[in-house]
Amino acid sequence: MSNFNRRQFIKTSSAIAAASALPFPMINIRTAGAQANTVKVGILHSLTGTIAIAEKSVVDAEQLAIEELNKAGGVSGHKIEAVVEDGASDWPTFAEKARKLIEKDKVAAVFGCYTSASRKAVLPVFEKSKGLLYYPTYYEGLEQSPNIMYTAQEASQSVIAAMDWLMKNKGKTFYMIGSDYIWPRTTIKIAKAVLAKGGGKLVGEDYYPLGHIEFSSAINKIKGAKPDVILNCVVGGSNVAFFKQLTAAGITGKNQTVLSLAVSEEEVSGIGADNTVDTLTCMGYFQSLKNPANEKFVKSFKAKYGANRGVGDTLECGYISVHLWKMAAEKAKSFDVEKVVAASSNLEIDAPEGKVKFHAANHHLWKHARIGTFQPDGQVNMIYESPLIEPNPFPKL
């Protein structure tokens, strides 16, 4: 019943939001954000509601980056001032706050959104009001907006690399399971195409509603199908149930290859490291990566937020988003959105995940796909690193 109320609410409020979005005049933001010696940027994530679970720590990473830049003299001599808004896990609220940030606060850029649903909700606002959004979450691709920079991997950058590696090293029969919405569905669609090309066999494909907590039938089906590999695209809290129940049923990383595409070190803290040990994960970044940029990132994050805090893929992408914006703005010698976007083309950064750079045209990053095994302490031991993969948000399948 709570769903009913909520849905009604979302329906009406999104209708209002959509209606009010139409007649807005275009606003000249040539001088966006920059005033005297400060420049405003927006941070737009959910601090409350269901998705806050994932987004709160991204805010921490972005604020860390801003603090670092300010200590080092800001952007072109301007001090960065962050305006933090709460999207409240509610898509119309995201759109409303995005408009507020762009038109009222006149921010030069916004770092934000986590779910694809929230990004889709703010996209028209950013395009209409000529804002600039840096989006730090790995997602399903199939999108490219002139006003959005995508700093995490799109689907083909993780799933294709993971499938190639799995078929070469772990076997050819696959059981694919995912939560039931656009990201897992698209990812599994790509995975199946790669599987067919490589001569592999799909022995099962299963989707469960987001937030589902009962996987014993799924696990029985897996036991019956005896796949070489379980490709896990389950998302969020369901992963806790999935891994706990797999372990209880006697399926562990020791006797079964399980590769997850949406489980990072962050999620493991809730799942319990003893339930994920020896299973595989594919991400663009691991906290355990050995390079000076990463050691500095992890060290300053822990220094600011506490030694028990960990970082994961999305946090790192949020962190480099701020740095990428700063570099582009300085290269463009302007905070103007079009100029910053133009300057981002081929822009290279020495990130915690290694050297990555923006694609010349499609607003995504060239990235490494990395595969690793979870250790008993919840960290990842990297066992494979791909060369830089060209982003291709619209893969031909």
- Give the interface with other proteins as residue ranges (CB under 8 A): 1-3, 5, 48, 50, 52-53, 56-57, 180, 205-209, 211-214, 216-218, 220-221, 223-224, 237, 239-241, 244-245, 247-250, 266, 269-274
Two structure tokens written together for 186: 């698209």
> Quick one: which of 186, 187, 178 has its CA closest to 205?
178
Nearest distance from C-beta of residue 251 to other proteins, angstroms = 10
Would the CA dihedral through 155, 161, 164, 170 be positive or negative? negative
Nearest distance from C-beta of residue 240 to other proteins, angstroms = 3
* For other proteins, the closer CB: 149 or 176: 176
- Residue located via tokens 């603090």: 67
Number of Cα atoms under 13 Å in the Cβ half of residue 104: 8
CB atoms within 10 A of CB 73: 10
Nearest distance from C-beta of residue 10 to other proteins, angstroms = 15
* For other proteins, the closer CB: 5 or 28: 5
* For other proteins, the closer CB: 13 or 245: 245
Number of Cα atoms under 13 Å in the Cβ half of residue 279: 30
Strands 354-358 and 348-351 come out as antiparallel
CB atoms within 10 A of CB 170: 14
Nearest distance from C-beta of residue 36 to other proteins, angstroms = 36
Two structure tokens written together for 358: 């923006």
Nearest distance from C-beta of residue 8 to other proteins, angstroms = 13
- For 19, the 3-state DSSP assignment is helix
Nearest distance from C-beta of residue 315 to other proteins, angstroms = 12
* For other proteins, the closer CB: 28 or 308: 308
Which residues are 79's β-sheet partners? Answer: 38
Nearest distance from C-beta of residue 179 to other proteins, angstroms = 9
* For other proteins, the closer CB: 57 or 256: 57
> Quick one: which of 237, 233, 241, 255 has its CA closest to 176?
233
Two structure tokens written together for 330: 């300085």
* For other proteins, the closer CB: 5 or 37: 5
* For other proteins, the closer CB: 131 or 378: 378
Two structure tokens written together for 189: 């669609």
Nearest distance from C-beta of residue 122 to other proteins, angstroms = 22
SS3 string, 248-286, reads HCCCCCCCCEEEECCCCHHHHHHHCHHHHCCCEEEECCC
Rounded to whole angstroms, the Cα distance separating 314 from 114 reads 9
* For other proteins, the closer CB: 10 or 382: 10
